[in-house]
A and B are shown apart, each in its own frame.
Chain A
Amino acid sequence: MSRGVRRGAVWAVLLSLTASLVACGSGSDAGGDLTTEKVTLRFTWWGADDRHKRTQQVIEMFQRKHPNITVKGEFKEWNGYWDSLATTMAANDAPDVMQMDELYIASYAERGALLDLNEAKKHLDTANFDQKALATGAIAGKQYGLPVGLGMYSIMVNLDLLAKYNIPVPDDTKWSWDDLKAIGDQVSKAGGGQVFGVQSPGINDAAGLSIRARQQGKAIFDADAKVVLPQEIARDYWQYILDLSKSGVAASPSVTIEKASAGLNQSATATGTAAFGLWWNTQLTALTAASGAKLKLLRLPGETQGASPGAYYKPSMFWSVSARSKYPAEAAAFVSFLANDEEAAKVLLTERGVPANQKIREAIAGQLKDTDKAAKEYLDTVPVSDPPRITPNGASTLDTILKRHTEDVLFGRTTPDAAAASFIKEVQSEVDAAK
């Protein structure tokens, strides 16, 4: 497969060819009036079928309001999305409006690929956004992304399984990580090798580790993008995961890795093979549909024992505009429509997370399914602390680095202590390399 090797080179040349074309053509100005000429905006997002249908509907609504603007949607699944965004950026052919993630926003913004949305204030209404929520999309005072929805890390429990084994639902207002392990052990014993207590964390994202650090008043990164995670916290985190695996509270390492890598629908929670799992609260609807079981959102363990709550509002994603867009004003107007239009919101509902726009959140409240209502209620009631710093430039590989270390620990290739040291070193070197 020499194509894979050669592909990189192809883009390199395309870049050099297109570099000379930068800033050609008659574009608009971010702060100017909307054009009356016919223009086409390209809009890209990742997601599943349901999202594509809803988004396409909203695009049509926007086009009816602005007959001279055509919006061309391009959608992909998560992994392909980032590969393709990187290459289109390199080719100077980035879409005008894009769905952006917390993991990548600094990597793109600090390399000058994203527009400061403040420049397009005239067309972008942010009046109904909480300042704290807006801040999650800002770096050094520049608004590179408008948060779309908010999510919170939570424990999802399968009530049907607990009822089947006659195990009471734990009191989540003051439970600890040890309590979770203990009740998970009861489930595993009752499950007889088919059903396990806990779906092992540490594979799909670094949020669990971040939460552990935050509960002890620490963080993975400080404001200057330096890795300040204490090694003991990382070590305890992996020791906990290893204990879950060794004691049989979680499934065997290879089953765990296989299920976690196969996506939401194949996960232990979705297949009803684990009673407890760490998930974003907004995934309740999808997981309920996939598992067919009655699921409930519980607060995170260890929230009351530590220095401060680890939970925080995480922007599920952002709307960003390319810094090289020829039509920044029109792109901003489209983003404003996505974020503020009530009719559009009634189509999108909570598919991209509980809306960060507070007015919209109330406007759609009546239309929500029970599971969406539960997710919204969780967001409205569970105590949180200030969000962590945005994942710094260069650390967009944070989740994959974490996953590899978890695998090394689970398969006995390294100790939790060595994994902790190696993880901290590698993440720091990634951040340094991007400078």
Chain B
Amino acid sequence: MSALDELRQLRKGGAQVRKGDNRAAFWFLAPWFAGLLLITVGPVLASFALGFTKYNLIQPPKLIGFDNFARILSDSRLHNALRVTFTYVLVSVPLQLACALGVAILLNRGLRGLAFYRSAFYLPSLLGSSVAIAVLWTQVFGTDGLVNRVLGFFGVEGRGWISDPDTALSTLIVLNVWTFGSPMIIFLAGLRQIPEVYYEAAAIDGASRWARFRRITLPLLSPILFFNLVLQIIHAFQSFTQAFVVSGGTGGPSDSTMFYTLYLYQQGFSRFDMGYASALAWFLLLIIAAFTAINFWAARFWVFYDD
């Protein structure tokens, strides 16, 4: 029985049964709705209101109009945080997706022990945003860390990767690229969907391996690539834990790892300026929305839906 038949069957079913079902469903969903309203929607609306106030967490908020938003324009440390965040997003996301796609194609060849490799490559995604890995990172990239030991073995002089403002952000980018497992799994599922016959036909026509990838794999995978791109960009904009732990909460050295979210957090909880922090949160929402909109617009030119 196809899904359409099933739907028809359901439509024919008695209206009374449906009403009872709805009521039960409502009660089962009620706890979730309560959570959504109290823990998500409520605070989101409250933060919108707080964006127009001066609020130091202890005394009641004072209305100050658009001052917080005006400050966004003139806050040079915020502009630096934006620069750091954009660099992070624009460098780490393409690299991460390239790694994910590359490994997915390798794994799709059906090698032995596939399940093991798949899990092994996926593991970093589960760990990547954890505190433990961030702590590990400070050790690996420290002056006496693993990276410098390996470099030293080859006679290359190491440096304090995390404590030097020129390289600190790169270590965080490497950390993000390393967590390519979740887009990889999605790519892998997408690759499985591409009918084998296309490749066979192309091979018979004498298409090279690169041509097959370029003309068959990429177009048919483009919706998946688009999905991963949108998701990972949003995810990267919201990165917080890594920078917080690696820099000890400071965003240092010299503000070189000052992610937007970390700056926002410092405004709210170190400077007791929750009004400004709320305005920043809404500004971040606008930035992410803009990026997503651009993505959807650009998708018309390169995403191919095969239906």
A residues at B contact (CB < 8 Å): 1-2, 4-6, 8-13, 15-16, 19, 79, 82-83, 86-87, 89-90, 107-108, 111-113, 252-255, 257-258, 261, 396-397, 400, 403-404, 407-408, 411, 413, 430, 433-434
Find out whether the CB atom of A12 lies under 8 angstroms from the CB atom of B43: yes
A255 to B162, CA, bound (A): 10
B217 within 8 A of A: no
Complex alpha-carbon distance, A413 and B71, angstroms = 25
Interface string of B178-194 (1 = CB under 8 A from A): 00000000000000000
- CB-based contact A111/B164 at 8 Å: no
Q: Which residues of B contact A (CB under 8 A)?
A: 38-40, 42-44, 46-47, 50, 55-60, 129, 142-143, 159-160, 162-166, 238-241, 244, 247-250, 252-255, 261, 264-265, 268-274, 277-278, 281, 284
Residue contact B59 to A112, C-beta cutoff 8 Å: yes
CB distance from B206 to the nearest CB of A (A): 49
CB distance from A404 to the nearest CB of B (A): 6
Which of A6, A15, A89, A258 has most chain B Cβ within 10 Å? A258
A275 → B minimal CB distance (Å): 19
Which chain B positions have C-beta within 8 A of A252? 160
- List of B residues within 8 angstroms of A258 by Cβ: 142-143, 160, 162-163
Q: How far is the CA of A258 from the CA of B60 in the complex (A)?
A: 40
Q: State whether A79 touches B58 (Cβ < 8 A).
A: no
Interface of A is mostly: helix
Q: Please, how many angstroms separate the alpha-carbon atoms of A407 and B38 in the complex?
A: 43
Residue of A nearest to B234 (CB): A2
Query: How distant is B250 from chain A, measured CB to nearest CB, in Å?
Result: 6
Measured between C-beta atoms, what is the minimum distance from A266 to chain B in Å?
A: 10
B261 and A411: CB pair below 8 A? no
Closest chain A residue to B262 by CB distance?
A: A4
CA distance A413 to B42 in the complex (A): 43
A404-B241 contact in complex given A1-B261, A10-B43, A111-B59, C-beta closer than 8 Å: no
What residues on A are CB-neighbors of B239 within 8 Å?
A: 1
CA distance A226 to B264 in the complex (A): 27
- Complex: chain B residue closest to A6, CB-CB: B43
| Inter-chain pairs besides A6-B44, A10-B39, A112-B59, 9 sampled, C-beta below 8 Å | A12-B43, A12-B274, A13-B38, A90-B58, A261-B250, A400-B250, A411-B165, A411-B166, A430-B271
CA distance A357 to B42 in the complex (A): 49
Which residue of A89, A261, A396 contacts B248 across the interface (Cβ within 8 Å)? A261
Residues of B within 8 A of A19 (CB): 60
Contact of B42 among A13, A107, A411 (CB under 8 A): A13
Query: Could you show 29 A-B contacts with beta carbons less than 8 Å apart?
Result: A1-B241, A5-B238, A5-B240, A6-B40, A8-B268, A8-B278, A9-B47, A9-B50, A11-B274, A12-B47, A12-B50, A82-B270, A86-B57, A87-B57, A89-B57, A90-B58, A107-B272, A111-B272, A252-B160, A254-B159, A255-B163, A258-B143, A258-B160, A258-B162, A400-B270, A407-B253, A411-B253, A413-B165, A433-B271
Q: Which residue of A lies closest to B162 (CB)?
A: A258
Residue in A2, A9, A13, A397 whose Cβ sees the most chain B Cβ within 10 Å: A9
**Contact for B254 among A113, A404, A430, CB less than 8 A:** A404
B281 to chain A: closest CB distance in Å? 5
Number of A-B contacts (CB under 8 A): 137
Give the chain B neighbours of A107 by CB distance below 8 A: 272
User: Which residue on B lies nearest to A83, using beta carbons?
Assistant: B269
How far is A79 from B269 in the complex, measured between Cα atoms in Å? Answer: 11
In the assembled complex, the CB of B123 is this many whole angstroms from the nearest CB of chain A, namely 19
Chain B residues with CB under 8 Å of A108's CB are 58
Residue of B nearest to A409 (CB): B254
Q: With both chains docked as a complex, state the minimum distance between the C-beta of A63 and any C-beta of chain B, in angstroms.
A: 30
Are B270 and A254 interface neighbours, CB within 8 A?
Answer: no
- B160–A396 contact, CB under 8 A? no
Q: Which of A13, A257, A413, A434 contacts B46 (CB 8 A)?
A: A13
Q: Is the CB of B269 within 8 A of A411?
A: no
Given A9-B46, A79-B249, A107-B272 in contact, is the A254-B164 Cβ separation under 8 Å? yes
Q: How far is the CA of A399 from the CA of B270 in the complex (A)?
A: 12
Residues of chain B contacted by A111 (CB below 8 angstroms): 56, 58-59, 272
Given A8-B277, A411-B164, A434-B56: A16 and B46 interface contact (C-beta under 8 Å)? yes
Q: Which residues of B contact A5 (CB under 8 A)?
A: 238, 240, 261, 264, 281, 284
Instruction: For residue A148, give the distance in angstroms from its CB to the closest CB of chain B.
Output: 23
* Shortest Cβ gap from B239 to chain A (Å): 6
Which residues on A sit within 8 Å (CB–CB) of B160?
252, 254-255, 257-258
Nearest opposing residue in chain B for A111, CB measure: B58
Which residues does chain B contribute within 8 Å of A12, judged by CB atoms?
Answer: 43, 46-47, 50, 55, 274, 278
Q: Which of chain A's residues have a CB closer than 8 A to the CB of B281?
A: 5, 8-9
Q: With a CB–CB cut-off of 8 A, which chain A residues contact B57? A: 11, 15, 86-87, 89-90
Chain A residues positioned under 8 Å from B166 (CB to CB): 411
Q: Is the CB of B58 within 8 A of A112?
A: yes
Q: Judging by beta carbons under 8 Å apart, are A86 and B272 in contact? A: yes
Closest to A430 in B: B271
Per the bound structure, the CA–CA distance linking A261 and B249 in Å amounts to 10
Residues of chain A contacted by B250 (CB below 8 angstroms)? 261, 400, 403-404
